């Protein structure tokens, strides 16, 4: 009788242990499922530009709606750096100029025979203007007047650097004829105010924060590109379009400025799941008004314009979103 009770007791005890183990396993599994997150590093660019403003506005809005996505915005040198960092897997989202993205993906231009892959498109965002800023009291009134001057052409690996070199070359201003420095937007603005440089290039969405803040410290003037050189640049480089910066875009700006612009693209790593990227794409459009509130530019974004003239494949997740809206994209 004692042995039988002992066996019965041991058997009940083991059943309880197994039941407890299964219960704990279930709780653990449910708990893990509810707290599972995807970490996304978003490559922006220097503080003061539109990439930084957009990255912060977009990630804050998306994070509010979806706690399974955790973002960290990383300052970078700009477009070329963002593409390289995406390709290397260091970041999972970024903004980059369409011209640099096309060259990098297809191994042309600055990326001649050295293509970079591992990323795809989500959407075309807005046009970036190639802006040239000088002090209002300077003797520089045209691009030709930059001869012999000290100029910031943006950070190395930035879209600004690429555009500045192309514009200067179009005007016949080689490296021997101008003194170029690689400064980020904040450094360039400070150097312009203190008269350490004579002009700064800045390719960014308009109104650009760093330029508007510059007007509070010093009067500025925007240089225009003449029609002949605008046409020359557009003939040489497919991604340029004419762009006009209206009067009073910036405080004290009394004349419009004519220049060229280039489209910006929102890119993601191919390592992100289709479900995650579909969510990221959906949030871009469903919350565009909230994103707009945090930006100084007019974000005229819709599914049709966001898929036009994009020359690299879209991520499958983004393609799934567009398909639900009757739009077929290149995958």
Q: What is the pLDDT of residues 10-21, one digit of tens each?
A: 555 554 454 444
Contacts of 298 by beta carbon, 8 Å cutoff, 6+ apart = 292
Cα(297)–Cα(276) distance, integer angstroms: 27
Is residue 103's pLDDT more than 70?
A: yes
pLDDT of residue 12: 53
User: 35 pLDDT band (50/70/90 cuts)?
Assistant: low
Q: What is the pLDDT of residues 150-159, one digit of tens each?
A: 999 999 989 9
List the one residue out of 182, 184, 188, 195 whose CA is nearest residue 138: 195
CATH 3.40.190.10 describes domain 37-125+263-324: yes
pLDDT of residue 260: 98
Cα(213)–Cα(305) distance, integer angstroms: 31
Cα(201)–Cα(152) distance, integer angstroms: 6
- Report domain extents, the chain: 37-125+263-324, 128-262
- Dihedral of CA atoms 309, 204, 146, 236 in degrees, nearest 10, equals -10
List the one residue out of 266, 240, 243, 241 whose CA is nearest residue 131: 243
Is residue 326's pLDDT more than 90?
A: yes
User: 1 pLDDT band (50/70/90 cuts)?
Assistant: very low
Tokens of 225: 């590109």
Cα(142)–Cα(151) distance, integer angstroms: 14
Integer CA distances (angstroms), 90 to 77, 78, 122, 215, 235, in order: 14, 14, 18, 36, 35
Tell me the mean pLDDT in the region 167-180. 96
Which architecture characterizes domain 128-262 according to CATH? 3-Layer(aba) Sandwich (3.40)
Contact 121, 310 (CB under 8 A): yes
Q: What is the pLDDT of residues 125-138, one digit of tens each?
A: 999 999 999 999 99
pLDDT of residue 7: 46
Is the bond leading into 199 cis (omega within 30 degrees of zero)? no
User: In the Cβ-directed half-sphere of 43, how many Cα atoms lie within 13 Å?
Assistant: 29
More confident residue, 5 or 79: 79
Contact 201, 213 (CB under 8 A): no
- In the chain, DSSP assigns E strands to 38-43, 69-74, 93-97, 119-135, 150-152, 179-181, 199-204, 220-222, 241-245, 257-269
Contact 101, 79 (CB under 8 A): yes
More confident residue, 10 or 187: 187
Average pLDDT, the chain: 90
State the DSSP H helix or E strand holding residue 82, giving kind and residue range, or none if neither. Answer: helix 79-88
Cα(294)–Cα(140) distance, integer angstroms: 34
Domains 37-125+263-324 and 128-262 share a fold: yes
Is residue 23's pLDDT more than 80?
A: no
Tokens of 64: 């509010």
pLDDT of residue 15: 47
User: In the Cβ-directed half-sphere of 169, how many Cα atoms lie within 13 Å?
Assistant: 10
Contact 265, 289 (CB under 8 A): no
Bridge partners of 45, per DSSP, are none
Residue 66 CA to its chain's centroid (Å): 21
pLDDT of residue 47: 82
**Three-class DSSP category at 180:** strand
């Amino acid at each position: 009788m004692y042995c039988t009770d002992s066996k019965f007791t041991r058997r009940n005890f083991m059943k309880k242990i197994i039941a407890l183990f299964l219960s704990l396993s279930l709780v653990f599994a449910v708990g893990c499922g509810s707290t599972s997150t995807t970490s996304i590093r978003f490559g922006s660019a220097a503080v003061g530009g539109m990439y930084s403003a957009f990255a912060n506005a977009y990630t804050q809005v998306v994070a509010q709606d979806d706690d399974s996505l955790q973002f960290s915005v990383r300052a970078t040198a700009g477009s070329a750096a963002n593409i390289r960092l995406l390709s290397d897997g260091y970041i999972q989202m970024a903004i980059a100029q369409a011209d640099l993205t096309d060259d990098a993906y297809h191994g042309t231009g600055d990326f001649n025979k050295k293509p970079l892959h591992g990323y795809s498109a989500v959407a075309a965002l807005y046009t970036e203007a190639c802006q040239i800023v000088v002090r209002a009291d300077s003797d520089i009134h045209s691009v030709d007047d930059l001869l012999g001057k000290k100029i910031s052409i943006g950070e190395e690996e930035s879209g600004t650097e690429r555009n500045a070199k192309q514009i200067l070359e179009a005007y016949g201003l080689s490296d021997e004829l101008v003194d170029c420095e690689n400064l980020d937007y904040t450094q360039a603005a400070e150097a312009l105010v203190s008269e350490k440089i004579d002009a700064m290039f800045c390719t960014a969405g308009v109104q650009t924060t760093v330029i508007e803040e510059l007007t509070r410290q010093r009067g500025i003037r925007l240089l225009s590109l003449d029609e002949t050189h605008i046409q020359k640049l557009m003939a040489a480089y497919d991604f340029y379009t004419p762009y006009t910066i209206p009067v009073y875009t910036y405080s004290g700006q009394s004349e419009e400025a004519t220049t060229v612009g280039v489209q910006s693209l929102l890119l993601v790593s191919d390592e992100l799941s289709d479900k995650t990227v579909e969510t990221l794409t959906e949030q871009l459009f469903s919350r565009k008004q909230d994103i707009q509130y945090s930006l100084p530019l007019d974000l005229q974004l819709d599914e049709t314009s966001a898929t036009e003239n994009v020359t690299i494949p879209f991520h499958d997740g983004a393609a799934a979103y567009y398909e639900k809206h009757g739009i077929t994209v290149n995958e």
